[in-house]
Amino acid sequence: MNYREDFDRIANEIFFPIYEVIAQEALKMLGRKSGSCLDVGCGGGHLGLSVAKASDMRITLMDVKEDAIKIANSRIKDWALEGRTSTIISDVREINLPDNGFDLITSRGSIGFWGGKDEMKQAFAEIYRVLAPNGTTFIGKGFGSAKLTKQITAQMKVLHPEWPQCVREASNGYGAQDYGEFLNELGIPAEIINDDRGVWIMMRKTA
């Protein structure tokens, strides 16, 4: 089993309960269940496909890694969502999609691996570019609730005693305050949640 398969197994087993919770929260912030959704850094596709299951939205799953998209394509078939789900290989800092295309843009967990300050700002600018007028983002990190955070932390420490410190050390280390500063420098209107649900960025684009 390679790294990608091992990561997907954890997402499909230990992390699985979080995706429905986060998907519902994202849809609540958007205020509707129709339109188009882009899931950035999708990995095996759990969050984007959870949005699809909870709504009537058309979903695009995006990841820079070809092996992740291969797993996501397989999961689309397993979940019988081929009719309104597509995939694309693309870097968040240079998204190969047109302007104003997505009503909802989600991402969970990949934000810590988008690079340094300049690369983060480039990623935020690209996400805002492809966000549709009257749309919102729900991108960040966390487990959706205090209960799920406690549950998953306990399970992961059994599997990997060094977790979550190993993840923090591998990531860029930025948090809510940093995200706010980057967005402010870009002039992008946004609200940032930082509570038991995690750290989540809601960029807004007015019509």
pLDDT at 3 over 80: no
Q: CA separation (Å) from 90 to 117, 149, 198? A: 20, 30, 26
Amino acid at 87: T
Amino acid at position 45, single letter? G
CA nearest to 174, candidates 91, 117, 105: 117
User: Which pLDDT score is estimated for 171?
Assistant: 87
Query: pLDDT value at position 135?
Result: 98
Topology at the third CATH level for domain 3-205: Rossmann fold (3.40.50)
Structural domain spans, the chain: 3-205
For the segment 132-148, the average pLDDT, to the nearest whole number, is 97
| pLDDT surpasses 70 at 2 | no
Mean pLDDT of the chain: 95
Q: What is the pLDDT of residues 148-200, one digit of tens each?
A: 999 999 999 998 888 778 787 788 989 999 999 999 999 999 999 999 999 99
Quick one: pLDDT at residue 57? Answer: 99
Tens of pLDDT, residues 78-104: 999 999 999 999 999 999 999 999 999
Q: For 2-11, 55-64, 185-194, which range has the lowest pLDDT when averaged over its residues?
A: 2-11
Reply yes or no on whether the pLDDT at 1 is more than 60: no
Q: Which two tokens stand for residue 188?
A: 């992008």
- pLDDT, one tens digit per residue, over 115-126 is 999 999 999 999
Give the span between the Cα atoms of 194 and 177, in whole angstroms.
Answer: 10
Please tell me the least confidently modeled range out of 57-66, 71-80, 145-154, 164-173. 164-173
Query: 48, 85 in Cβ contact below 8 A?
Result: yes
Contact 84, 51 (CB under 8 A): no
Cα gap 19→17, rounded to integer Å: 6
**In degrees to the nearest 10, what's the CA dihedral of 96, 98, 100, 102?**
-60
**For residues 198 and 48, what is the distance between their CA atoms, to the nearest angstrom?**
18
Written in H, E and C, the secondary structure of the chain is: CCHHHHHHHHHHCCCHHHHHHHHHHHHHHHCCCCCEEEEECCCCCHHHHHHHHCCCCEEEEEECCHHHHHHHHHHHHHCCCHHHEEEEECECCECCCCCCCEEEEEEECHHHHCCCHHHHHHHHHHHHHHEEEEEEEEEEECCCCHHHHHHHHHHHHHHCCCCCHHHHHHCCCCCHHHHHHHHHHHCCCEEEEEECCEEEEEEEECC
